[in-house]
């Protein structure tokens, strides 16, 4: 896997549309001419967002169990790896220049 050396800058403002779900992540990837996430992430990302919003807004209608925490931790870890791979591939292919 390629390793980025030197400076790497991400803009201070990222258009997340208030919630980072599957569609928003893919819009951000497309904005930078990177390959989109596979549709297999859509359902689980939307589930994570629903849990996050319930917790953040004090809604305790969805009990958060340790299995949910483990599931979402793995999901975020997988997504970080997937997006990192898309960034490094785009960097190698120079797709960000298109």
pLDDT value for 80: 94
Mapped to the 3 state alphabet, what secondary structure does 49-67 carry?
HHHHHHHHCCCCCCCCCHH
Residue 82 CB-half CA count within 13 A:
16
pLDDT of residue 44 exceeding 70: yes
Q: What average pLDDT does range 69-83 have in this prediction?
A: 95
Domain ranges of the chain: 38-97
What's the confidence (pLDDT) of residue 96?
76
């Amino acid at each position: 896997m390629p390793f980025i050396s030197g400076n790497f800058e991400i803009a201070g403002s990222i258009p997340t549309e208030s919630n980072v779900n599957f569609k928003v992540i893919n819009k951000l990837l497309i904005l930078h001419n990177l390959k989109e996430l596979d549709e297999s992430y859509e359902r689980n990302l939307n589930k994570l967002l629903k849990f996050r919003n319930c917790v953040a807004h004090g809604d305790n209608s969805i009990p958060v169990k340790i299995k949910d925490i483990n599931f979402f931790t793995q999901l975020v870890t997988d997504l970080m790896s997937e997006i990192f791979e898309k960034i490094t591939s785009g960097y190698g292919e120079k797709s960000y220049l298109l």
